[in-house]
Amino acid sequence: EQGRASNRFCGPAAISALTNKDTAETARSLRDRGGLRQITGTSEKLFKETLYYDYGIDLYQLSDYSKNCMNRRPTLARWLKQTIKFRTKGRVFVIIAGNHYQIISGRRYVCGMVGEICSIRDKKVRRRARVEKVYEARSV
């Protein structure tokens, strides 16, 4: 199946949400850059390199909780609550939580599992996932 939902894994889906490109195209970029036959998961390094070199988007790291033990990392719900004033219109955040890439801008949320842009309050959002890293996406 070709089209927007042709690769629903979170790496191609997150890049698709950031670039407005089809997931088939973003998966091809990941495969080409990583020398892979198929995309079923995406390393953070490959994700960042593909965004930067193929689409001109740089990820600036804002927080790194990965060194903390699991129960010391904030949940997505807590991070959202703590950053209400910080998440202003036009700022786009890439969050790694629950081994999953998630895109948040203001009160809008999208990831490969949800499939479409929804509110951060939507029941489909995995708000109990522990946040590992937070990046801000900016054009180069």
SS3 of 97, please? Answer: strand
Q: Where are the alpha helices (DSSP H) in the chain?
A: 10-19, 23-34, 44-55, 76-82
φ, ψ of residue 74 in degrees (nearest 5): -70, 150
Residue 29 CA to residue 62 CA, distance in Å, equals 26
The candidate with the shortest Cα–Cα distance to 83, out of 58, 63, 110, 97, is 63
Ranges of the chain with pLDDT below 50:
1-4
pTM of the model: 0.89
Q: Where are the alpha helices (DSSP H) in 56-117?
A: 76-82
Check residue 89 and give its pLDDT: 84
- What tens digit of pLDDT does each residue of 42-71 get? 999 999 999 999 999 999 999 999 888 877
Tell me the two tokens of residue 130.
Answer: 């522990």
Check residue 2 and give its pLDDT: 45
Q: Which residue has the tokens 């490109």?
A: 21
Beginning with the edge strand found earlier in the chain, give each strand of the sheet holding 108-110 in spatial order.
57-64, 131-139, 92-97, 101-105, 108-110, 118-119
The maximal CA–CA distance of the chain, rounded, in angstroms, is 42
What's the half-sphere exposure (Cβ side, CA atoms, 13 Å) at 104? Answer: 30
